[in-house]
Copies of this chain bind each other. A is one copy, B any other.
Amino acid sequence: MALNRKCIIRISRYKNALNRLKALGFVKVFSGNLADAAGVSSSQVRKDFSLFGITGNRRGGYKVDELIKRIRDILGKNELQKVIIVGAGNIGKALLHYKGFESGGIKVMAAFDIDPSKYSHELEIPVLPLEDLRGFVQDHEVKIGILAVTEVAAHHVSEIMISAGIKGILNFAPIQLRAADDVVINNINLEVELENLIYFVNAQAKTDGVFE
């Protein structure tokens, strides 16, 4: 199946839109509704669904419950996805307490740091020494890790994670990580995202000027 990152991102967004629509009492939904909610075209929605073999009824749309179940299945949300956080600094701690993952499927198991002052067993989610990472990952069969350490540590720590058995890294360190083909890396660079925004705001301001 030839699907790309953007397609899966959209599928996630459809799922979020569906949850909202369900909460509003929707039982059926049309591609146009999802398109509006996710900010794409209705043919895009249908194209994405067709890639996953998701079908509805001509004239009848899609049943919200079935669709949610189907998408949750695609995204692996019907089984528990165990996640660790590496680096208990600013970003790491914020993610440790982030409520957005609670809705289902994603379970943050523990955080790890080199700084002993960060260790804690009192919290609901423990902060453990980095040395314990390997054993923990192997014992609990964790495949997904969030990397939130400094730029200088990032590469080294990512190698520790991968050698321990982590297969997917969500990287917040401001460096473009890459790895072997069997490891998936998703880089989120906050400064880059802000720079992007700033660029388009400034570009917008210039364009506006022309018409003033």
Give A contacts to B, CB under 8 Å.
5, 8-9, 12-13, 16-17, 37-39, 74-77, 81, 83, 90-91, 93-95, 97-101, 103, 105-106, 143-144, 146, 167-170, 174-176, 178, 182, 184, 186, 188-202, 204-205, 208
**CB-based contact B188/A188 at 8 Å:** yes
Say how many copies of this protein the assembly contains.
2
Which of A12, A103, A195, A199 gathers most chain B CB within 10 Å? A195
| Docked CA distance A95–B98 (Å) | 14
From B74, B90, B188, B195, A77 is in contact (CB under 8 Å) with B195
A17 neighbours in B (Cβ, 8 Å): 176
**CB-based contact B167/A76 at 8 Å:** no
| Dominant SS among interface residues on chain A | helix
Closest 5 CB pairs of A and B: A94-B94, A168-B201, A12-B192, A90-B94, A184-B200
**CB-based contact B182/A204 at 8 Å:** yes
Residue of chain B at shortest CB distance from A201: B168
Residue of chain B at shortest CB distance from A168: B201
From B39, B97, B182, B193, A178 is in contact (CB under 8 Å) with B39
From B95, B97, B100, B194, A144 is in contact (CB under 8 Å) with B194
| Docked CA distance A100–B91 (Å) | 11
Q: Can you name 12 extra interface pairs (CB under 8 A) apart from A9-B196, A90-B97, A146-B194? A: A5-B196, A8-B195, A12-B189, A13-B176, A39-B176, A75-B195, A76-B198, A83-B194, A90-B94, A144-B197, A144-B201, A184-B204
